[in-house]
């Protein structure tokens, strides 16, 4: 049997851009991606703390160290620059793997930079 568990989470980052005229996705600073264990093209759920919107999209690498969090395409209608969001990914694993799994959760600062 497989279960779907929290794999990684970027908790409370600020939207820096919203680009409606784009194919789709969310652009995330590569430093944040690495810290959270996210891969380019990985499916993520995005939760907007400001308006309650939830969406599913995929990750695009943003410039390392830029702090960029940009909702692209139709997702741009779900947030405004300055909104606080949570980015979540899940992973399928066996129940045996799930017993010892520890998700990668990061808490960036108000400028979307890693807190060391």
* Residues with catalytic roles: 25, 58
The closest of 71, 30, 27, 66 to 53, measured between CA atoms, is: 71
Burial class (CB in 10 A: 0-12, 13-18, 19+), 75: buried
The closest of 57, 48, 113 to 86, measured between CA atoms, is: 48
Q: Over the Cα atoms of the chain, what is R_g? A: 14
CA distance readout (Å), 89 to 10, 20, 43, 57, 81: 9, 23, 7, 10, 22
């Amino acid at each position: 049997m497989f279960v779907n568990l929290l794999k990684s989470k970027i908790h409370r980052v600020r939207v820096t851009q919203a680009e409606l005229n784009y194919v789709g996705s969310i652009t995330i600073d590569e430093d944040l991606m690495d810290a959270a264990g996210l891969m380019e093209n990985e499916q993520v759920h995005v939760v907007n703390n400001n308006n309650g919107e939830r969406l599913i999209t995929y990750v695009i690498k943003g410039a390392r160290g830029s702090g960029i969090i940009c909702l692209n395409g139709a997702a741009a209608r779900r947030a405004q620059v300055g909104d606080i969001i949570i980015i979540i990914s899940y992973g399928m694993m066996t129940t045996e793997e799930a017993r010892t799994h520890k998700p990668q959760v990061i808490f960036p600062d108000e400028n979307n930079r890693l807190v060391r």
